[in-house]
Amino acid sequence: MGDKIKRIGVLTSGGDAPGMNAAVRAVVRTAVGQGIECIGIRRGWSGLITNDFVRLDGSSVSRIINRGGTMLYTARSEEFMDPVGREKAISTCKLLGLDGIVAIGGDGTFKGALALSRQVAEKGQRLSVVGIPATIDNDIGCSHYTIGFDSACNTAIECIDKLRDTMQSHERCSVVEVMGRHAGYLALYVGLAVGATSVLIPERSVDFENDVVENIRRARLAGTTHYMVVVAEGAGSVYDIASQIKNSLGIDPRVTVLGHIQRGGAPSARDRETASRMGYVAVQSLASQKGNRIIASVDGRIVDLDMEEALAMTKQFQMERYNILEALTNNGISRI
């Protein structure tokens, strides 16, 4: 074990997620409590390339626990994905005297963290990288939960409940797109929570006749006069789905794309609490000099895992939730 760590950097990167601020606060307050200095790197990994940073103390992170977005700003950095860009970042870390970095974000952020940790190791430099999972997509293989997911679900549910009111009055069909280019967790949880007629997700190939048309027919036969089709961004175009519904069933759906609204707003209790625990464990992990780690939620416990091992893990998609949704939506209301 080397000398006690003295100074760390913290950054948020990739798509923002409610609760990122709470995680930054936890990292800074835990570090300060242990006599470790904290530097905020602004605009994600690119801040390490452009020397964009700010010194943080306990009071710099006051009154942010309840705020959406990220006080450190965020970005996706192409330059950092290139070894030349990372070399510049490594020089900045040396210049700043950083012993460790806490990177808060999703899969893109973690790809950057892994690449950085390997390049640092090749150079024989001393710098530990710790990742905290924060993305509304909940798609980090090693962690059952990612900061921001619960808040995004609640935002989407609130919007869809409002949509349902008007769809019900006009006896219409609604096709709603929720975020998730590669992951259907948000769509599935939200679909289950709003009692959607159908949910389309990228993890399951879409059988339009069976998954959409048949569900609407059943609902219609059972006397329902409005239908809610929830589509994950990566499962297909909502406009194409709406026109297919029109062609197959002769009803004229309305399309709503919830978009970036799902990433905003005050973090939920679950996200503030998880972010606080993850931020705390991240700094403890750095302080105990375990090397490069990923913080994860495993069966409700917050643990730190070896980065290489953690990022090789994949998460089994929870298909049983899909089956429950099908059972609750399409059973009982009608059988033809």
Please give the positions annotated as active site.
Answer: 137
Going by C-alpha positions, the residue among 85, 21, 12 that lies closest to residue 43 is 12
Select 145 or 280, whichever has its Cβ closest to ligand F6P.
145
Q: Rule CB under 6 A: is residue 98 a binding residue for ligand F6P?
A: no
Select 15 or 69, whichever has its Cβ closest to ligand F6P.
15
Q: Rule CB under 6 A: is residue 180 a binding residue for ligand F6P?
A: yes
Whether residue 76 contacts residue 112, with contact meaning beta carbons closer than 8 Å, is answered with: no
Which of 6, 63, 162, 181 is the binder for ligand F6P (CB under 6 A)? 181
Select 100 or 106, whichever has its Cβ closest to ligand F6P.
106
Contacts of 224 by beta carbon, 8 Å cutoff, 6+ apart: 197, 333
Closest distance to ligand F6P from the beta carbon of 76 (Å): 7
| Cβ neighbourhood burial of 86 (10 Å; 0-12, 13-18, 19+) | buried
Which of 52, 137, 150, 271 is the binder for ligand F6P (CB under 6 A)? 137
Which region, judged by CB under 6 A, interacts with ligand F6P, from 62-70, 173-181, 201-209, 281-289?
Answer: 173-181
Q: Rule CB under 6 A: is residue 190 a binding residue for ligand F6P?
A: no
Q: Rule CB under 6 A: is residue 202 a binding residue for ligand F6P?
A: no
Closest distance to ligand F6P from the beta carbon of 154 (Å): 15
In total, the chain counts a number of residues equal to 336
Closest distance to ligand F6P from the beta carbon of 108 (Å): 8
Q: Rule CB under 6 A: is residue 233 a binding residue for ligand F6P?
A: yes
Inter-axis angle of helices 238-249 and 214-221, to 10 degrees? 50
- Would you give the binding string for ligand F6P spanning residues 250-289, x where CB under 6 A is met? -------------x--------------------------
Residue 221, amino acid: L
Q: Rule CB under 6 A: is residue 135 a binding residue for ligand F6P?
A: yes
**Interface with ligand F6P by CB under 6 A: which residues?**
15, 106, 135-137, 179-181, 233, 263
